[in-house]
Amino acid sequence: MTVAVVGAGTIGLSWTTLMLAKGHTVRVTDPRPDLSEAVRDAVREFAPTVPGFAGDAEELLSRVEIVGSVEEAVDGVQAVQENGPERLEFKQDLFAAIEKAAPDSALLLSSTSGLTPSSMSSRMTAPQRLVVGHPFNPPHLLPLVELVGSSDREVARAKEFYLSLGKVAVVVHQEIRGHVANRLQRVLFEECVNLVEQGVVSMTELDDIVTNSVGVRWATVGPFLAFHLGGGPGGLRHMMSHLMPYIPSDVQQRLADQAETVYPLAQNESRAARRDRQQLGIISLKERDDDVR
Ligand SMILES: NC(=O)c1ccc[n+]([C@@H]2O[C@H](COP(=O)([O-])OP(=O)(O)OC[C@H]3O[C@@H](n4cnc5c(N)ncnc54)[C@H](O)[C@@H]3O)[C@@H](O)[C@H]2O)c1
User: Measured between alpha carbons, how far is 187 from 126 in angstroms, rounded to an integer?
Assistant: 35
Specify the CATH number for the domain of residue 117.
Answer: 3.40.50.720
User: Measured between alpha carbons, how far is 236 from 251 in angstroms, rounded to an integer?
Assistant: 12
Domain that holds residue 104: 2-171
CA of 27 to the centre of ligand 1 (A): 16
Amino acid at 281: G
Amino acid at 155: V
Residue 151 within a domain: yes
CA of 14 to the centre of ligand 1 (A): 11
Residue 226 within a domain: yes
Pocket test for ligand 1, best of 30, 36, 136, 147 (most atoms within 8 A of CB): 30
User: Measured between alpha carbons, how far is 235 from 228 in angstroms, rounded to an integer?
Assistant: 4
CB of residue 87 inside a 6 A radius of ligand 1: no
What angle do helix axes 223-230 and 268-288 make, rounded to 10 degrees? 110
User: Measured between alpha carbons, how far is 20 from 194 in angstroms, rounded to an integer?
Assistant: 42
Q: Which of 171, 198, 228 is the last residue of a domain?
A: 171
Q: Could you identify the atom of ligand 1 that is nearest to the CA of residue 31?
A: 37
In terms of domains, do 159 and 222 share one?
no
User: Measured between alpha carbons, how far is 118 from 140 in angstroms, rounded to an integer?
Assistant: 27
DSSP string spanning 181-201? HHHHHHHHHHHHHHHHHTTSS
Residue 185 within a domain: no
Q: Are 95 and 74 in contact (CB under 8 A)?
A: no
CB of residue 146 inside a 6 A radius of ligand 1: no
Q: Are 136 and 113 in contact (CB under 8 A)?
A: no
Per-residue pLDDT of the chain (293 residues; tens, 9 = 90+): 999 999 999 999 999 999 999 999 999 999 999 999 999 999 999 999 999 999 999 999 999 999 999 999 999 999 999 999 999 999 999 999 999 999 999 999 999 999 999 999 999 999 999 999 999 999 999 999 999 999 999 999 999 999 999 999 999 999 999 999 999 999 999 999 999 999 999 999 999 999 999 999 999 999 999 999 999 999 999 999 999 999 999 999 999 999 999 999 999 999 999 999 999 999 999 877 666 76
- Number of structural domains found in the chain: 2
CB of residue 93 inside a 6 A radius of ligand 1: no
Q: Are 282 and 218 in contact (CB under 8 A)?
A: no
CB of residue 6 inside a 6 A radius of ligand 1: yes
